[in-house]
Amino acid sequence: MLSQIIFAVALLLTIWIFGYTSSRYIKLFRITKPAFPVRDIRKRILLTLRVAMGQSKMFRKPFTGFMHALVFWGFLVILIGSIEMVIDGLTGSERSLKVLGGLYELIIALGDVFALLVVIAILIFLGRRLFLHVKRFEGIEMKYISHLDAKVALSIILLLMLTLIGMNAGYVALKVAGNEPIHGVFPISKHLAGLLEGMNVVQLHLFHEIHWWAHILLIFFFANLLPYSKHFHVFMSLPNVFLSRLDPLAKLPNMDSITREVKLMMDPETAFASAEGEAAPERFGVKDAEDVSWKNYLDSLACTECGRCTSVCPAAITGKKLSPRKIVMDLRARMREKGKGLISQGKDFIDQKALLRDYISEEELWACTTCNACAKECPININQPTLIVDMRRYLVMEEGSAPGELKAVFNNIENNGAPWQYSSEDRLLWAKDIEIKKS
């Protein structure tokens, strides 16, 4: 009974802390701008199954992609066992889901195998970070805390798997020692249980209990650490893929306010009729965190900092300052910095800083060719170019700031109706002396 009370307190505390953290994120999402209507649910479900559940984009790097997929799929299977542990902890029962029969045995067997596979994968990931110089893990945006964050998260996952294996081995050894039936199939742990043959029943029970409590408390701790870590993608990647932009990557979203202005020029009467009661836009484009759309912010929370986007960016490859990963990480950092003031004082809060220039320079923004290589490569469908273009829109439409070559194009469009420096009357002068033979 005492253990049930302790477990219930730990569970309630975990839920309360997670709820508090989630409420802060919800408040920040309410500050953001609309993005697009969420339609085509069937198409989104299929996309999520292929990209998120099937890890299809991860396999572009076959070895590390396969290792990551094993970890992801392992967590999905082991999650069922974690749910069973919560039920057992609250009710004081043991292996409460055994009523599922053959399905339960399959789930437990898969969980036991995946626990070992995840241990191997995590050891490989830790080895790569500790001993190998992987270029895409480096960059001006990758501070010491980013590397520490990754190592801490991987270490916790490793401990989760080791305590799970220890718990299973202790369970098997305890049941064998007490000549009791074993519920579930343990293809890995049954061999490890042989290492515990020297223990008596009391010692085996203690061994099992220590690993059981260590495993479930690590789960509770990790669940509340994730929202403050880059590994928040454990929660956010599936929603981010489901809420992906379904338009072709090369299609950039139009600004509604500009679309209305174009309609006004094309058909004044229709435009005036549709514009009644519509307020003028507060700002064209994106200058600071509160100007971004909810999808931009969701992208930043889902980012795994894997660097695949930057590794394929032609601007980054050729030595320019742009790093698509940095753009996304900067938005997340800026929202974290300004978020408290935005929540307490609203959108009028000013701290004399901005996402533009204080975090992201004009040089970075204009280096982007909008080729969408970054968005295509991202394993969870983050769309970096939409944020970059919106920040460039602010520079041009609010400040009139752009590279000299681009300003010349703008002037030519305004004066000549085309990007070239010649007027429409002179546009065909190049062909005046060309003779065309008649056949």
pLDDT of the residue at 215: 96
Which parts of 267-345 fold into alpha helices (H)?
268-274, 294-302, 308-312, 314-317, 324-345
Check pLDDT > 70 for residue 273.
no
How many H-runs (helices) and E-runs (strands) does the chain carry? Answer: 19, 0
- Nearest-5° angle of CA 53, CA 54, CA 57? 110
**DSSP reduced 3-state for 171:** helix
Average pLDDT of the chain is 90
pLDDT given at position 87: 93
| pLDDT at residue 12, rounded to an integer | 96
Q: Which of 121-135, 158-172, 321-335, 363-377 has the lowest mean pLDDT?
A: 121-135
Is residue 85 within a helix (H) or strand (E), and if so which, with residue range? Answer: helix 62-91
Q: Which pLDDT tens digit goes with each residue over 406-433?
A: 888 888 888 887 888 877 777 777 777 7
- Cβ-contact 254, 329 below 8 angstroms: no
Summarised one tens digit per residue, pLDDT across range 164-183 is 999 999 999 999 988 899 99
Instruction: Specify the pLDDT at position 269.
Output: 66
The Cα–Cα gap between 394 and 314 comes to 24
In Å, the largest CA–CA distance within the chain is 106
- In tens, the pLDDT along 208-227 reads 999 999 999 999 999 999 99
Lowest-confidence range among 101-110, 139-148, 203-212, 415-424?
415-424
User: Are the C-beta atoms of residues 227 and 25 closer than 8 Å to each other?
Assistant: yes
pLDDT (mean) for 40-67? 94
Residue 371: predicted pLDDT: 95
Distances (CA, A) of 349 to 143, 293, 295, 338, 353: 28, 18, 22, 8, 11
**Which residues, at least 6 apart from 101, have a Cβ–Cβ distance to it below 8 Å?**
none
The Cα–Cα gap between 279 and 284 comes to 13
pLDDT-derived band at 435, boundaries 50, 70, 90:
confident
All structural domains of the chain, each given as residue ranges with its CATH number in brackets, are 2-230 (no CATH), 282-418 (1.10.1060)
* pLDDT tens for each residue of 225-270: 999 988 898 899 999 999 999 999 988 888 887 877 777 777 766 6
* Segment among 87-96, 264-273, 369-378, 392-401 with least mean pLDDT: 264-273
